[in-house]
Amino acid sequence: MSEPRHELKYALSPLDALSLKRRFSAILRPDPHGPDGVYAVRSLYFDDPYGRAAEEKLAGVRDRVKYRLRLYGGDLGAVRLERKAKEGEWVRKDSLWISPEEARELAAGDPRFLSRREEPEARRMLSEFLSGPLRPSVLVEYTRTAHEYDIGNCRLTLDEDLRFGFHTEDFFSTCPVLLSAGTLSILEIKFDSYLPSHIAHLAQLHDRGRAAASKFLSGAMRTPHAAGLLSAT
């Protein structure tokens, strides 16, 4: 089981995002997984038939869990299954690298391959997929610019050019059908128990109000289930 971390999120204007990228690149170390820390991310989120995960997020439920399949840089050969648990002010993320074949089984509603995995978190994942039951909900793709700082194990990411899709099989496509989210940009800051003050200053956190900026919810609100989500609130 992973150690919990803090996670702060902020919605940004395009001009603000551009300014922060310049600040980060001048001082922080770029993520080594992409040129200058830039790479594409695609996620397929899961929810139950009633949209419970989206409803809990919209309602601000304190403790909640969501699942997603994720791939990076358009590499369809390496897929990660992630369980992300929000526990008050802390976030805990457990993940498994799975094969494309296993990912296709999961996207088709069959999580039974998890029973054959040896990782300790696989059994809990299987139980939660079956009890949900969880099924593909929304596809999200965006361009991420990521930087790192060793003290506090800090990671700062800027996600831009967000796009959403609802044909879940497009997760495996080289040309998915996606809709633009407009100018929405999201800053995420993750750290262990300590955020250095100069990092907070660099990100201009003293000038910002935290927002419930969620790529999953932004996509879910565009699904046919969105009318039910709004009426529930």
Domains with residue ranges and CATH for the chain: 5-226 (3.20.100.30)
C-alpha span between 134 and 137 (Å, rounded): 9
What is the percent of the chain with per-residue pLDDT over 90, rounded to a whole number? 57
Other CB atoms within 10 A of residue 224 CB:
7
CA distance 65 to 50: 15
Residues 6+ positions from 232 with CB-CB distance below 8 Å? 55, 58, 59
Instruction: Report the amino acid identity of residue 170.
Output: D
The tokens describing 223, both together, are 């699904």
Through-space distance between the first and last CA atoms of the chain, rounded to whole angstroms? 34
Whether the CB-CB separation of 172 and 83 falls below 8 Å is answered with no
| R_g (Cα) of the chain, nearest Å | 17
Q: How many CA atoms lie within 13 A of 131 on its CB side?
A: 6
Please compute the mean of the pLDDT values over residues 66-90 and round it to a whole number: 91
pLDDT score, position 231: 47
* Span 145-150, average pLDDT: 95
Residue 152 DSSP class: G
**What is the pLDDT, as a whole number, of residue 177?**
86
Per-residue pLDDT at 209 exceeds 70: no
Better pLDDT: 60 or 90: 90
Q: Would you list the DSSP string of 182-219?
A: TT-EEEEEEESS---HHHHHHTTGGG-------HHHHH
User: What are the tokens at 88?
Assistant: 């008050």
Q: What is the pLDDT of residue 59?
A: 83
User: 232 falls in which pLDDT band (50, 70, 90)?
Assistant: very low
- pLDDT at residue 36, as a whole number: 92
Q: How confident is the model at residue 227 (pLDDT cuts 50, 70, 90)?
A: very low
30-to-133, 155, 181 alpha-carbon distances in Å: 39, 10, 26
Mean pLDDT is lowest, of 65-74, 91-100, 197-206, for: 197-206
How confident is the model at residue 58, as a pLDDT? Answer: 82
Q: Which element (helix H / strand E) includes 53?
A: helix 52-59
Mean pLDDT of the chain: 88
Please give the model's pTM, rounded to 2 decimal places: 0.90
